[in-house]
Amino acid sequence: MLSETLFGTDEMMTSLMQKRKAGGVVWKVVFLFSTSLAILFLLLLLVSVIDSTFGYVAVRNEMEPSQLVAGKDAVSEFSRAELETVLQEHLSSGILRRVLHDKPLQERSKTDLVSLAQQYVVKPSVVRSWGLGDSLLDQKSIEAFMAGNEGLHLTFRSWINWSFFTSDQSANPLNAGVRTAFLGSLWIIMITFVFAFPIGVGAAIYLEEYAVDNKLNRLLQLNIFNLSAVPSIIYGLLGLAVFVRSMEHITSGAFLSSVSDTTANGRTILSGGLTLALLVLPIIIINTQEALKAVPDSLRMSSYGVGATKWQTIASHVLPASIDRILTGTILALSRALGETAPLVVIGASTFISVDPSSIFSKFTTLPIQIYQWSARPQGAYRNVAGAAIITLMLLLMAMNSFAIIMRDKISKKKRMES
Residues that bind other proteins (CB under 8 A): 212-213, 296, 298-309, 312, 316-317, 320-321, 415-419
- Burial class from Cβ neighbours inside 10 Å (0-12, 13-18, 19+) for residue 30 reads exposed
CB 168 within 8 A of CB 180: yes
Element of type H or E holding 309 = none
Half-sphere exposure of 101 (CA within 13 A, CB side): 6
Radius of gyration (C-alpha) of the chain in whole angstroms: 30
Contacts of 410-418 with C-beta under 8 Å, sequence gap 24+, read 411/323, 411/324, 411/327, 412/324, 415/320, 415/321, 415/324
| Strand, helix or coil for residue 131 | coil
Contact 341, 239 (CB under 8 A): no
**For residues 74 and 301, which CB has a smaller minimum distance to other proteins in the complex?**
301
Question: Between residues 198 and 296, which has the closer beta carbon with respect to other proteins?
Answer: 296
- Give the nearest distance from C-beta 319 to other proteins in angstroms: 12
Q: What are phi and psi of 352, to 5 degrees?
A: -130, 105
Determine the 3-state secondary structure of 416 from DSSP: helix
Minimum CB separation of residue 395 from other proteins in Å reads 36
Q: Please, what is the minimum distance in Å from the beta carbon of residue 220 to other proteins?
A: 16
Q: Considering the complex, state which of residue 150 and residue 418 has its C-beta at the smaller distance from other proteins.
A: 418
Run of H or E including 345: helix 342-346
Answer yes or no: are the C-beta atoms of 392 and 367 closer than 8 Å.
yes
- In the complex, the smallest distance separating the C-beta of residue 198 from other proteins, rounded to whole angstroms, is 24
> d(Cα 148, Cα 143) in Å, to the nearest integer?
9
CB of 413 to other proteins, least distance (A): 12
Report in angstroms how near the CB of residue 224 gets to other proteins at its nearest: 20
* C-alpha span between 386 and 370 (Å, rounded): 8
Nearest to 279 by CA among 354, 356, 335: 335
Whether residue 210 contacts residue 310, with contact meaning beta carbons closer than 8 Å, is answered with yes
Nearer to other proteins, 155 or 419 (CB): 419
Q: Could you tell me the strand order of the sheet in which 124-129 lies?
A: 124-129, 54-61, 152-158
